[in-house]
């Protein structure tokens, strides 16, 4: 099974990225043909600072490797190192109906949050479609907010196949019902755009500051509370052992849940959970040549796959004469 997904380097990676996409991808390495990449071209829709983009691109790659991605068990690269994706994006854009893109809620949400309404932001789903279709991906692990973009990819692929003949595999989104959307500090979806994240590789002091800032209600300690409508509990259950989670759930339902105490416990859980990854991340930061070499080799493998698909596309649409 071909599985593909990417991570955008538009800021420090957070636990929503990890549980929503990164961990499912890493867990699929042994049983699937895995394609994982850093989507720096997508990041250009919101990042217009050369140093920041370059730093965050390297950082996202190092983070992924630190968290357990094995480059020998997958194809791992940086999006812009495979130029075939931009050519396919243009070809697909000539078939993509404007109405299809105008219905995409992600564009509207981002503009409402203050991101510049550029053509790149509007046509983001076409570039994402090219990312997926270029490698003939069958499964695409995404967060709930990206499901619509995979559906757009399917629509574009079907239209291309109907127009020019069978060319693209029709992909399926893969969304964990339990982890579809990890809440942020304020209860909205955790997102760098909203500034409500808990980054994976914070130092301990900053981690505590972020966790203690999680919004909670004002219900008295002894009163019953609904754990399913509490973003603190939603984050806590990602890290807590099953027996401890059961205890805390009981405190919510029966009364006695002390938010401050639960937050302090959560700090320790997160710190311990990523301990080994932090140590690996520190080593990679000191050996950037090693990381770049992995990405260079990965881009070579990705281009081999990409050129096979693009050559078919060129032939089908008439770019071979």
Structure tokens at 298: 């990965």
The residues near 150 (Cβ < 8 Å, ≥ 6 apart) are: 132, 140, 142, 171, 172, 173
Residue with tokens 């955790």, as numbered in its chain:
190
What 3-state class would DSSP assign to 183?
strand
Selecting among 2, 113, 177, 192, the annotated active-site residue is: 192
Residue 263 annotated in active site: no
Rounded Cα distance, 71 and 291, in Å: 10
Q: Answer for the pair 79, 85: CB distance below 8 angstroms, yes or no.
A: yes
Q: Which residues on adjacent β-strands are paired with residue 111?
A: none
| Distance (Å, whole) CA 316 – CA 159 | 13
Marked catalytic residue, from 12, 108, 110, 316: 110
Sign of the dihedral through C-alpha 290, 291, 292, 298: positive
CA 136, CA 171: separation in Å to the nearest integer?
8
Q: Indicate if 144 belongs to the active site.
A: no
Active site residue 288: no
Cα separations in angstroms, 277 against 146, 235, 298, 314: 27, 19, 21, 43
Pairwise CA distance, residues 197 & 214, whole Å: 10
Q: Which of 2, 144, 147, 189 is catalytic?
A: 189
Distance of alpha carbon 271 from alpha carbon 284, whole angstroms: 19
Q: Which residues does the annotation mark as catalytic?
A: 110, 189, 192
């Amino acid at each position: 099974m071909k599985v593909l997904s990417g991570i955008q380097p538009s800021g420090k990676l957070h636990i929503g990225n990890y549980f929503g996409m990164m961990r499912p991808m890493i867990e699929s390495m042994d049983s699937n043909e895995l394609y994982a990449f850093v989507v720096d071209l997508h990041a250009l829709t919101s990042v217009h600072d050369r140093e920041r983009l370059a730093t965050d691109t390297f950082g996202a790659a190092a983070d992924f490797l630190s968290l357990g991605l094995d480059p020998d068990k997958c194809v791992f690269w940086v999006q812009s190192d495979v130029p075939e994706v931009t050519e396919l994006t243009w070809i697909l854009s000539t078939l993509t109906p404007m109405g299809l893109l105008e219905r995409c809620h992600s564009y509207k949400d981002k503009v409402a949050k203050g991101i510049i309404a550029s053509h790149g932001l509007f046509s983001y789903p076409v570039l994402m479609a090219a990312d997926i279709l270029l490698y003939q991906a069958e499964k695409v692990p995404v967060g709930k907010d990206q499901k619509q973009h995979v559906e757009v990819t399917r629509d574009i692929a079907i239209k291309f196949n109907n127009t020019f003949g069978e060319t693209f595999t029709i992909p399926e989104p893969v969304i964990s019902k339990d982890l579809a959307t990890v809440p942020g500090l304020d209860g909205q979806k955790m997102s760098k755009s909203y500034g409500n994240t808990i980054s994976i590789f914070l130092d301990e002091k900053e981690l505590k500051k972020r966790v203690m800032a999680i919004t909670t209600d004002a219900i008295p300690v002894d009163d019953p509370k609904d754990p399913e409508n509490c973003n603190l509990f939603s984050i806590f259950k990602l890290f807590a052992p099953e027996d401890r989670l059961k205890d805390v759930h009981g405190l919510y339902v029966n009364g006695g849940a002390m938010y401050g105490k639960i937050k302090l416990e959560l700090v320790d859980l997160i710190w311990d959970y990523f301990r080994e990854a932090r140590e690996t991340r520190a080593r990679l930061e000191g050996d950037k040549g090693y990381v770049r070499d992995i990405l260079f080799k990965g881009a070579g493998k990705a281009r081999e796959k990409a050129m096979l698909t693009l050559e078919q596309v060129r032939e089908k649409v008439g770019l071979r004469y």
